[in-house]
Amino acid sequence: MATLPERLQAAAEAHPDRLALVAGDRDFTYRQLLESAEELAAVLRQRGLQRIGLCGDNAPAWVVADLACLLADVVCVPVPVFFSEAQTEHLVTTAGLQALLWSDEAPGREPLGEGAWIDRLGDNPARAPLPSGTAKVTFTSGSTGTPKGVCLSQAQVLATVDALRERLTPVGPARHLCILPLATLLENIAGVYLPLLMGAAVRVEPLALVGLTGSSGVDPRGLIGALNRWQPESLILVPELARLLVQAADAGLLKTDHFRFLAVGGGKVAPDLLKRGRALGLPLYEGYGLSECGSVVALNTPGDDRIGFGGRP
């Protein structure tokens, strides 16, 4: 069975000149995205890095660095943008990180190329050995205590992506907009890997440009403006964002005819919200997931949908 990197390489060979990654400052075709990831992967190998933290705002460089880790067989630990300094330090020491890769420049960071910057951390042995085959470690939010890491293999991630691809191929969204932080496992897997393996284009913009501020703040005007401007076909939403979109559509402020699939997760979704949204042209579908299970566990889809339930596994 092909690995996730092999599947990404196959996608680049199948449609090399199709847009894969879209951003305000630079677009990447599938060929260009793979070439950039391969170049950065070579740098990671040359430096002997085995465990890195991936930090920074949503940006093409974040996606390139994430894919480079997959290609170089480097364990990638996404660092939530809202983590405090103490939480980040806990993550670094627990995972035994050797370096932090950043998607943005700052004093003291060394450029690695492909828009990535590095902070070397020196030797930092992990408190516990990672399971064999670990490709990614995703940390919980820490809202109810010390953040805990969940180890995921490439095979587990790919199994989740393939299951989602099978369910969503009939829907066929061609343009996805990332409005959650890329360090969020759900957006990372279902908002980046999934569209890329479906031959779609992923738009990645700084969180402030899509109306997100801080750990959970939302600028409604900024979000609705971004959606009307870029007109994505798919989004991943938490219930709060779904409510905001329904309110905006009800007030006539949000165009809805371009949407094909809006996944809602991360909390209980009121059935009335889903019904109201669909009546306004918002194709809202509830799902359920756990980090320990590689993100999505169950999902409602068109033709296989039961409002009030998390969906079919």
The pLDDT value recorded for residue 25 is: 81
Identity of the amino acid at 284 = L
CATH 3.40.50.980 segments of the chain: 4-152, 155-299
Residue ranges of the chain whose pLDDT lies below 70: 126-127, 142-145, 214-216
Cα dihedral 223, 226, 228, 231 sign: negative
Cα dihedral 50, 51, 56, 60 sign: positive
Q: 10, 64, 22: which is closest to 40 by C-alpha?
A: 64
This prediction has a pTM of 0.95
CATH of 4-152, one of 3.40.50.980, 3.40.50.1370, 3.40.640.10, 3.20.20.70: 3.40.50.980
The pLDDT value recorded for residue 278 is: 98
The pLDDT value recorded for residue 88 is: 92
CA distance 45 to 38: 10
The backbone torsions φ and ψ at residue 283, rounded to the nearest 5 degrees and listed phi first, read -80, 75
Largest CA distance in the chain: 56
CB 125 within 8 A of CB 138: no
CA distance 271 to 277: 10
- Joined tokens for residue 242: 């779904």
CA atoms within 13 A on the CB side of 40: 29
Please name the residue that has the structure tokens 């890769």: 101
For residue 16, what are the β-bridge partners? Answer: none
Give the class (CATH, top level) of 155-299. alpha beta
Q: SS3 of 211, please?
A: coil
pLDDT, tens digit, 9 for 90 and up, residues 93-112: 999 999 999 999 888 899 99
CA distance 261 to 73: 32
